[in-house]
Structures are given as C-alpha cells and as structure tokens.
Structure 1
C-alpha cells in the first residue's frame, strides 16, 4: 500500500485550547489575511502553476473560518501581533491542513476533498494573475522548495515565516494530519535557512501582476460558439471541394473563407529572399538584409505550412510571443531568413519588418508544432546579431547575422577565463548551454560573444527568440560588455534571471556609488541594472548592494516602468538595512554621483550632504528616501 504524507481519513485531535467563536476567528483572519495567504501559497504544490496556486491560496484561506465555536489548538502564535491569539492559531492550522490536502493525489475510488479540486471562487476571467518575480536568490529558493514534499515545505515555512521552534512545528504538522513529522523536518533541514526571502514579493499572492490569457484563442472560441454547427458545415464543405483551399497546411486551422490579399501574403513563391552579399552595400544594417539560409529554403511544402500556421494556428500549435508583440498574420509577403533542420526539428524563420516569427515542427509529421514571435522593430546592427534557432537538452543554437566573423561562448561569472570558440556553419552556431533552461543554483551564466568589423558584443539567452545585448557603464555612455566591462558584470550575472521572458532588448549594469561601511567594515558597491524592452516601456530597474569581497550582489530595490538609471534620466537613489559584524544596524543609502543630499524619514530619521547616507536603525525599520540633485531637482528612492 502506498504511504501518504497526510492522513486521508482521520485527523489527529490537537491538544484542547481556548474555545474560539466565529467572530474571533474572523477578526484574526481579516487582520492577518496577507500572511495566511502567503503561508498557503508556499505550502501548496508548485505543480499547480503560479496562477492556480494564487487562486487556491486565497480560496483555502477564505474557507478557513470555523462553522461555530471551536476549541483552538494549544499552539501559540509566535510573530509580533499574533502572540497568544487562539483565533489565529485555529485559522492557521486550518490553512496548513487544507493546503497539505490540496497536494494529495486523486484516487479513482476515493471521493476527492474540496481542497483537491480547482477553487470555484475566487475566479478572474480573461486574466492570468501571478506574484511579481524576485531575484536569483528567490528563484533558487522556490526551486529548492518545489523539490520537497508538502509536509517538508510546511515545516520549512512554519520555521521561517511563522518563526516557530521545532517542537511547535511538530504540533502544528501533527494536528494538520501529517503522519511522519520527523521526516518532514529532516526534509526542511536540507534547504538552506534563507527565511527572510519568504517575505519577498516572489511569494506574495496579494501583490500580483496581471496578464491576459490567450486573446486569439478566446476570440476563436467565441466565434466558434456563435457560429456553432454552421461553421462546421462550411468548413467541411470547403475542405471537401477539390482544388479549393491553400494546400496541405499541416497544423494550421481550417480555411473558412478566401481572401486574395491574404493568399498572396502566404504564397511561398512570393517570399522575399535577400542576396547573400546585400548587407555589404545596404544603408541600413538590420534583419532586413539577412539572406535566406538553411538546407530547406527550397522546400515549398514546409514554407507553405509555416506561412499557413502563422496566419491561422491550429488548436494544437503552441503559440508564444514576447510582451507587446502582435501575433496576427503578415500583412504582405514576409522575408525568409532561414529554413532548415535543427537537431530534431525543421525550423523556419520569417521577418515582416516588425516581428520575427519562428515556426518549428518535428522531423516526422506536424504534431507538436510551435510558433514563436518576437518584436524587433527599430533594430540596429548591434541588436540584430543573432536569433535563437532552437533549444534542446539544456542547450541553445543561434543563427548569426551575415556580418558576424567569429562566435564564442564564455561564462559571465568568470570574466578572467578565455572565451571558447564556437563553430559557424552557414551562420548556425554549435550548441551552447542556455541559462534560460538552467535549473538549480546559479553557478554559471553562459553568454554568446560575437565579433564583426565594428567590435565585439555579448548577448545572453533570456528565454526568447532574440538574445539580449549586455552593456556596462553610465547610462548614455555605456559600452558593450566585452573586455574589462566583463568584470563589472560578473557579480551581477545571476540577477539576469529576474528579467527573463519580458521582451528584453538590452541590459545595462552601472556601478553608481562606492560606500564606506560603518564600524570599519570596508566599502560596499551600489549597482544599478536596467533592462530595456523592445516595446520601449516596461523597463525593469534593480538596485543591487554588494558587500566587500562578496561574490554576488543582493537586490535592495526594484521598480518597473520608471526612467531611473536610463539614458533619459541617469539618476538613482536606493537604500538597504544592514547589520555590521559588531551587531549594529544601519540604514545605508546611496544616490548617483550628481546627488547633492539624501534624507531618510519615517521609521528612520537622518540626512546627509552628498550622495551617501549611513544612519543607525532598529530591526525591521522602514524609511522613505528623498534626494536632491545638484541642479535642484528632487528624486525618490526606488521601492
């Protein structure tokens, strides 16, 4: 018989405590709702996906109220504001119990519990909600927690988030129905005690980002519902007529009506193919002067399928697009960049002046076909150096620009090591490790280094079609991250994981301050990392603080859609709470070099002339930072 982590039929009765009425439990739930939802989110199985975990965490917390007067478990709450509150202890126990039940497997003959089913409420239609992404440390902790069982995660979270000693963790888990509490504690011991990270935005299901669901798919479903059987009859009639349609289109959706202009745009014979040497005399050096390459540029059937799927992807096609990239069909005949065999797939790259579309299908058949889009309007020679052809077994292959002479790879964490040369066959690189596919701790970050007549550039795979360009230096005068600039990037390479999947065009790192630390603790570096996107808006800015001798920077502040640390506004102000080796706590703050003064108000009060502030602070203190530039303008601290 298969053992289970949580009791299926009976729940051990906790030691009797004070009787709690519904009003007292409701007051505790409302007062501490954000923490209870965070607790449920962290205990729920990661396999649910971030969106469903958010909704389930809220549903379980909202259903945690007792139906009547109920004895509370004799387990004290530990955190400030919850000491000795039996209502909180009761609601917390119910949240832990149901979150553990949600991770149990469904058995064919057993009636599923309510917590094992998708929640009926709350529901949000048309949007995907998920917590904001954290830094590399939060990502690594989330991956470690995902490898634990539900009781193991619960033990770790009760220790870290609730600050319970092990004896009380045992009581909570036993009361929640965990059969082997000792095994859960041993599992939790295997994860480093990074408890402060549990309070980060990465694990906050009450502070959410919203993205639309698949708009095209929703529109297709609505049309299908309105058309109903009539659409099916029309489709069947069109498919049955001899000589009609656009030919065998593989994974494309059926044709419901003909449009002459659309047919012309999707005719393989009309594809634009640029001459191999056209880029040498072109006035503009970007994707528009890439020649058509690959061993399948003459495969008319493959090109027809790629164009048809672009225009009308079928229900089985996996479609993805970087934020801000439209996914509709081309308005005219696109340009062919590549058609060939890449590892185990046939790949077609197309360009329409605004986007690059990548169509991929297996060598045999079209089941599992994928269509990916990336926005590339306004690309320069520096931006149009490479496109991702495919990712397999943790590796990535690129198609490079025709002007690239040499390609190599290097580990961004090891700036002193030599670059490893890569082969270029018809512009296609040999495979290299992709940081976008890496799991586990960040111990390396492999980047692509390209050399042409204008210099050497470094690009990194962030999980999209177009690798992001890395630069270093003051905004407005930054240089490519090659040569000595690689040393600037090394301590902050792992922070690139925080900007994956955002449609990133380039990422710049800039050390804007070097701050002497109190208590003769050396000097710490302040660095601003700004990720620019292809759509212009949506830039993400990270302010990082690096201790003397530290191998990595720690994210002190993060903001999106701000002008700080960019070419238009090369100013930044950030702060962090820091504890010296002597045990003293300080608020440290730093501004860019043109900051004339800095002031802290709120939980910490202090001011200084110049761009560096260090003032004594209490544990957990929160302060608001304001700065004045040398030209008299005011700036606020990054949150």
Structure 2
C-alpha cells in the first residue's frame, strides 16, 4: 500500500471508529468500512471520504464475530473530552461534527450528508456547538485530540491465570488461533457491543440543572456485569425499537422477585432518549417495554406494571395524588435507592387517562433556590410522563393549579399519551354571560409535537370543562404578556365568542360575520376581555349549529398584531 493510501486509511479509520463508537470499541467494523472506502480509485481522499459516509449512513451492520477477542483486546485509554462528548451524540451528528473538523464548511458537510439523509447547515452547526459546549475546548484543541487518537492500537489478550500446564495449553491455543484470526482481523466487522456504560454518580452534583445525562446507575445489581450485558444485548437485538448511540444503565436490582435492568440510549441533543426495561423472571427473560421520554430532563419512569417508579437522586420529598379528586390529598411516597414504594393499584382505574400527579422537591446540589417539581405519570411505561409548569393568576394559585391539572388529566384538555412537557396558563377568570357560572380561561401548551399550536378551554373552579377545546396563537414557550386565546362557548340561550389576552395586548377586535367589536384593557396592564354574542343555540343537536366565520385581531403595545381564528 502506498504511503498516501496508508495515510488516507488511517484518517478514514479514525473517522469511522469515532462515528461507530458507543463505548464498545467497534474496531473490526471500522476497519472494514475504512478498507472499503480506500478501494475508490478516482477522486482521491474526498471521494474515499464520500464513500465512507455512504457506507456509514446506508449499510446496516453485519453479524458480530468474537473469535478475535480471544487473542486481541483494544489498548484501552480513557476517552478525551471530544471522544466523551461524541458518545452523547447520535451517529449522524457525530459524522457531521467530524466532517466539520475534517476541514469542510458547514454547507459542504450538509451537502455531503444530504445525499443520504435530510440535513442542513444548521444541523451541522448544532452538532458542532454541542461538542464545543461539552468540552470547553477551542477548535484547534479539538482537532489536536482527534488527530492524536489511534484506534488501531491493540495488544495480545493475556492468558487467564492457572496452573503452569494450563498456561502452556492456553499459549498453544492462542498461538494457533493467532494464525487463524490474523486472516480476518482486517476484514471482519465490529466487536461485541459489551455491557452498558454507567454515569459517574457525582456528575449530577456538579450542575444546577441535572438531566437524564447525569442520572447515575442505582439499584443493588448495578455491578452485575453479566446481567447488564444480557440486558444491553437483548435491547440491541430488538428489531422494532433498538437503541441509538451509547447504552447507559439507569437501574439494576430485584423488584418483586424479578431481576430488572432499566437502560436508556443516547440519540443526541436533538432527540429525547428511549428507555428499555429488561426483566429476568423464573420462566422468562427479555425486554418487556421500550418507551421514548417526553423530555431529556430527569423524570419519573414507571416500571412495568409494578406500580413503582424510578426517581432521580435530585428529587426528594416525593408525594402523589389522584387528579380526579376535588382537592389534592397528597400521599407521601418512600424512595429507596432510586426506587419508589408501590402506589395503591386501585388508583389506576380507567379514569383521568390512568395518570396520577406527583410533586417533588428539587434541591440543587450546587446551591441556589429549591423549588417544587410537578409531574404527571401513567401506569404505562410506554407513555410519556410530562412535567408541568404553571403561568399563575395573582390570587388562589394552588386552587388554579389543581383545577388545571384536573382539566388536563380528566377533562380531555390534553391527550397526555401524545404530549411532551406542559405549560398551563391562566388568562382570565370571571362570570360568564347569560347567568353562566364563574369560569377560568385555561391555555395548554405542550413541548411536543414540536411546533403544534396550543389550545384553550374554559374550566370551572374545580376543573370541569365548560367548553370544547379552542385554538390559541400560543406556542410552546409563549410568554404571559403576548398570549391571546379565543373560543366559542354555548350558554343555554346562545353562543358567545370569548377572547382574552395577556397584559402586552392593549386591544382586541373582531372582524368577519359578527361585525366589528372592540375591547381594550380595563386598566393599564390588565387583561383585555372581549365577549361577543353569537347565534342562538340551535341545530340537532345544538352543537352542530353553524357558527359565524370570525377572526380576532390582538393589537400589542409595540405595534405588532396577531390574528386568531376560532375553530
């Protein structure tokens, strides 16, 4: 092999290894991919690199061969900052970053990857920024670490300890095996995936905002290497929901007579992790559920149908309540080594979408103000467990919060099995027209699906739904000042258009078949409220009556305008 080809092979091998590496030393597959890329005879190194990219993105891995592990083992060295940061990215994000550090611009990287996957320069910039943020190194230092990495270093595996006769026999076997293995070391695919990684148990104490990435392994069996390997291999063999990126153990212990391992993957900063639950019982073993988390933040994880939950170590004083009750009756929940005591099974009857409400206290290990965390959790390990934030009224905050939780869980204000984290906001409270009861205009924004509009609904003081879902102009991170909502509400006599907005909206105006109606703030910084009578309730049933076509224009203090259309 010419010297230039050897240099190209070394660069390609390094690139392939860092893309494929999930903490499992994939040297064999990296060698095969790099060797295939160097067979390109025209176009030089750029053509070889393009071929490498195509193989990595389009060709599935072939079967694993472990015979060479009898003889060779990787020359283990602690991963540097860049290599450790890459473990937290998905393979295509690693590839984008490495091509960027290989001398390509972001648009050039996007063009090279875009032949095989949907990607643009912003995706490249995000992957690069993720490594920059995790390492704290400048571009030159990152490139120096990458170029110094030599994945091809291996050493002979030492023979096992034993009597001298056994050592002689083992040495003879190894010598013979060396001749056999040497023929395919450069062509066989990757090594066995190995046992899952574990997070440093001190990592979560170094940040004021710990997430799933800092959740350490807990449980009495977390050091059982064979159990962890069986669990990780079983998940990797799952054809429907295999892991993406590095596999990390969250919990391993005995639960109700079964050995349980909970694992999560590492899809990168743009996606939320998946969690797999592996059980070993007397007559069965295997992965029994794989569910995607609604958020990358540390959250409760339901364990099978055990009525128990995993709790991250930074959440304390756990308590739970059933959202169907008129007021919260908090039950203290004991947590030992990350595992909660079981909740009463009768709580999970077919009501309120089978969700319960948890409240916990977050005390930052790095100092700072503690705060209460609210979360909705199901008895289904595949269902999301959304955290809940509130945009509160100035008075009776706790009463509003419980009513809002009841409306979301029990009154169909949101389908929790499809939502991410929730922001529940208060826009207006008061008496409805035509002798209607007191009501609150509740806005509900979910973090997923991404870009989905928020909804609004009128609820009573105890959380009963007084209207169907409406449509708002809110987004997942809308502030209280720019929020506005409009919906139809039906009294016994007629329909009414109800619109309200936050304090940065100074005026609301209707246009369309209802004519022109306007309402400004009742006081500086107050909440504009516009209620316009509509058609009389009719139709069979009355809900099918035709409603006028109308839009509401919200005029903000800075001159911007937002147009809302009720359904």
TM-score, length of structure 2 as denominator length: 0.54
Distance 1:261 1:561 in 2: 52
Distance 2:254 2:501 in 1: 50
Q: Any conservation in 2 of the 1:543–1:557 contact (CA below 8 Å)?
A: yes
1:296 aligns with 2:221: yes
Q: Any conservation in 1 of the 2:215–2:298 contact (CA below 8 Å)?
A: no
Pair 1:514–1:569, CA change in 2 (3 A): closer
Which residue in the other structure is 1:370 paired with?
288
Q: Any conservation in 1 of the 2:277–2:304 contact (CA below 8 Å)?
A: no
Which residue in the other structure is 2:388 paired with?
470
Question: Could you say what secondary structure the match of 2:263 adopts?
Answer: strand
Pair 1:503–1:367, CA change in 2 (3 A): farther
Which residue in the other structure is 2:495 paired with?
586
Which residue in the other structure is 1:572 paired with?
484
Q: Any conservation in 2 of the 1:344–1:362 contact (CA below 8 Å)?
A: no
Which residue in the other structure is 1:461 paired with?
377
Which residue in the other structure is 2:194 paired with?
267
Q: Tell me which of 563, 569, 574 is aligned to 2:475.
A: 563
Distance 1:390 1:242 in 2: 36
Distance 2:248 2:353 in 1: 40
Which residue in the other structure is 1:543 paired with?
456
**How far is 1:607 from its partner?**
2.0
Which residue in the other structure is 1:218 paired with?
none
Uncovered stretches (5+) of structure 1, i.e. residues with no partner: 1-222, 225-230, 245-256, 320-326
Q: Any conservation in 2 of the 1:447–1:460 contact (CA below 8 Å)?
A: yes
Pair 1:436–1:629, CA change in 2 (3 A): farther
1:358 aligns with 2:284: no
Q: Tell me which of 417, 421, 432 is aligned to 1:501.
A: 417
Pair 1:282–1:542, CA change in 2 (3 A): closer
Q: Any conservation in 2 of the 1:572–1:638 contact (CA below 8 Å)?
A: no
Uncovered stretches (5+) of structure 2, i.e. residues with no partner: 1-58, 72-184, 364-369, 521-528, 539-544
Distance 2:416 2:279 in 1: 24
Which residue in the other structure is 1:637 paired with?
565
Distance 1:617 1:560 in 2: 22
Which residue in the other structure is 1:485 paired with?
401
1:387 aligns with 2:387: no
TM-score, length of structure 1 as denominator length: 0.48
Q: Any conservation in 1 of the 2:289–2:304 contact (CA below 8 Å)?
A: no
Post-superposition CA distance 1:271-292 (Å, at most 9, x none): 23423x4432346522233221
Q: Any conservation in 1 of the 2:413–2:457 contact (CA below 8 Å)?
A: no
Question: Could you say what secondary structure the match of 2:551 adopts?
Answer: strand
Pair 1:571–1:564, CA change in 2 (3 A): farther
Question: Could you say what secondary structure the match of 1:556 adopts?
Answer: coil
Distance 1:478 1:387 in 2: 33
Which residue in the other structure is 1:521 paired with?
436
Regions of 4+ moved over 6 Å = 237-244, 257-261, 481-484
Distance 2:186 2:480 in 1: 48
**How far is 1:516 from its partner?**
3.7
**How far is 1:560 from its partner?**
9.7
Which residue in the other structure is 1:448 paired with?
358
Which residue in the other structure is 2:426 paired with?
511
Post-superposition CA distance 1:89-117 (Å, at most 9, x none): xxxxxxxxxxxxxxxxxxxxxxxxxxxxx
Equivalent residue pairs, number: 363
Q: Any conservation in 2 of the 1:471–1:478 contact (CA below 8 Å)?
A: no
Q: Any conservation in 1 of the 2:293–2:385 contact (CA below 8 Å)?
A: no
**How far is 1:487 from its partner?**
4.9
**How far is 1:429 from its partner?**
0.8
Q: Any conservation in 2 of the 1:338–1:348 contact (CA below 8 Å)?
A: yes
Distance 1:388 1:416 in 2: 24
Pair 1:621–1:608, CA change in 2 (3 A): farther
Pair 1:279–1:560, CA change in 2 (3 A): same
Post-superposition CA distance 1:529-563 (Å, at most 9, x none): 12223x7x15462211235x665024533559962
Which residue in the other structure is 2:80 paired with?
none
**How far is 1:467 from its partner?**
1.9
Distance 1:522 1:561 in 2: 26
Which residue in the other structure is 2:551 paired with?
625
Distance 1:500 1:242 in 2: 47
Pair 1:459–1:369, CA change in 2 (3 A): same
Q: Any conservation in 1 of the 2:279–2:288 contact (CA below 8 Å)?
A: yes
Question: Could you say what secondary structure the match of 2:531 adopts?
Answer: strand
Q: Give the alignment of 1:225-304 within 5 angstroms.
A: 263=191, 266-268=193-195, 271-275=197-201, 277-282=202-207, 285-304=210-229
Q: Tell me which of 238, 242, 248 is aligned to 1:313.
A: 238
Which residue in the other structure is 2:366 paired with?
none
Q: Give the alignment of 1:391-470 within 5 angstroms.
A: 391-392=305-306, 396-414=307-325, 416-432=327-343, 438-439=349-350, 441-442=351-352, 446-453=356-363, 454-462=370-378, 463=380, 464=382, 467-470=385-388
Distance 1:350 1:601 in 2: 55
Post-superposition CA distance 1:387-427 (Å, at most 9, x none): 223334xxx32111112232111233446444111111112
Pair 1:290–1:523, CA change in 2 (3 A): closer
Distance 1:436 1:503 in 2: 22
Question: Could you say what secondary structure the match of 2:357 adopts?
Answer: strand
Question: Could you say what secondary structure the match of 1:432 adopts?
Answer: coil
Distance 1:258 1:637 in 2: 64
Distance 1:457 1:478 in 2: 20
**How far is 1:459 from its partner?**
0.9
Post-superposition CA distance 1:115-169 (Å, at most 9, x none): xxxxxxxxxxxxxxxxxxxxxxxxxxxxxxxxxxxxxxxxxxxxxxxxxxxxxxx
Distance 2:491 2:323 in 1: 30
Pair 1:239–1:503, CA change in 2 (3 A): farther
Distance 1:545 1:301 in 2: 55
Distance 1:443 1:363 in 2: 29
Which residue in the other structure is 1:123 paired with?
none
**How far is 1:267 from its partner?**
0.9
Which residue in the other structure is 1:349 paired with?
262
Which residue in the other structure is 2:251 paired with?
338
Pair 1:435–1:530, CA change in 2 (3 A): farther
